[in-house]
Amino acid sequence: MMKILLAVLATFIIIIVIALSYVKLALPDVGAAESITVELSPERISRGEYLFKHRMACAVCHSSRDWTKYAGPVVPETLGKGGQQFSEKKGLPGNFTAKNLTPYHLKDWTDGELFRAITLGVSKDGRPLFPIMPYENYRQLDREDIYDVIAYIRTLNSIENDVAESEPAGPMNFIIHLIPQATEMNAKEPDHASLEAFGKYLTLSASCNHCHTPMQDGQYIEEMAFAGGFEFPLESGGIVRSSNITPDLQTGIGKWSQEQFIKRFKQYDDSNYVSGDIQANTFNTEMPWIAYSKMDTVELKAIYTYLKSLKAVNNQIVRFSPGRTQ
């Protein structure tokens, strides 16, 4: 009897090992990179710069931010160099590093490989990207948006910066291989006159859900989408939490007018504005206000309209908790 039990156990272990090996070695399977060549026209590059720096805010994660200043403005000379850490300290299932998007790292990548990474989350060498890189949002965008971003990326100054490899922790070592899925990209940017539809599209593009939805055990809590509470440990000390941007009257933006919403962004789009210095263990924000302040007013109106259409979620946020003093 014992021999039978041991044989069954051994068989079970072998099956598990084979299954896990398959996941690690054969997945993700999203197909080969497309054979595409993005035209580097002035129009495409200009729009790509707007998307990269403002609407999609790629620069915010793939550059260095000055956390001695309010809202951590992007350090201009580091544009695209990568290296920012998104770690277990921020509640993530591992330690993940933003990639270098300058020619130093991407010079041997085809446009198709870059397109696949942005939209399907698979690197040039076939490895999966953790979806802190919001490819699950980007694959729902118009191809033209992605082409424009690629065109602009190709114009970045080369910055020599070898970034650390990302390190998923525990089960995420296997789960990360299951996340990228082959997807047909047929979406078109909605008519700008349809504010709610356009606003939904823009929240995907700007990945508002990523920072304004709390996580539990490394997963977003779907019923709390846009309700805030995602925790960000600050370099200056303490923890800041994202705001509730659902239309809840008590704890969200339910009482905000469209004008108030737009002004909240545009107050940072002033040639005289200078980010204030941040003292140790005082409030700061992860929200890249300076990047988003340059968004077109029509786009901000659309985002406001879409957010006001969401289900209101009552979720009182404690915006900032100071760290312990020595």
Please check whether residue 168 lies inside any domain of the structure.
yes
Q: Is the pTM here over 0.85, yes or no?
A: yes
End-to-end CA distance of the chain: 63
Q: Are residues 280 and 142 in the same domain?
A: no
pLDDT (0 to 100) of residue 23: 57
- pLDDT for 89-98, tens place per residue? 877 889 999 9
Task: Provide the number of structural domains found in the chain.
Answer: 2
Q: Do 96 and 86 contact (CB within 8 A), yes or no?
A: yes
Q: Are residues 209 and 270 in the same domain?
A: yes
Q: Are residues 257 and 234 in the same domain?
A: yes
Instruction: Identify the domain boundary among 147, 171, 188.
Output: 188
The pLDDT of residue 325 is above 50: no
Q: Are residues 184 and 194 in the same domain?
A: no
3-class state of residue 24 by DSSP: helix
The domain in which residue 314 lies consists of 190-326
DSSP symbols for 45-85: HHHHHHIIIIIS-HHHHSS-B-TTBTT--B-GGGTT----E
Higher pLDDT, residue 144 or 19: 144
Instruction: Identify the domain boundary among 155, 172, 188.
Output: 188
Q: Are residues 37 and 158 in the same domain?
A: yes
Find tokens 């545009």 and name the residue.
Answer: 266
Q: Are residues 40 and 184 in the same domain?
A: yes
Name the least confident of 86-100, 196-210, 220-234.
Answer: 86-100
Q: Do 230 and 241 contact (CB within 8 A), yes or no?
A: yes
Take residue 263 and report the two structure tokens written for it. 């002004």
Q: Are residues 37 and 184 in the same domain?
A: yes
CA quadruple 296, 301, 304, 309: dihedral sign: negative
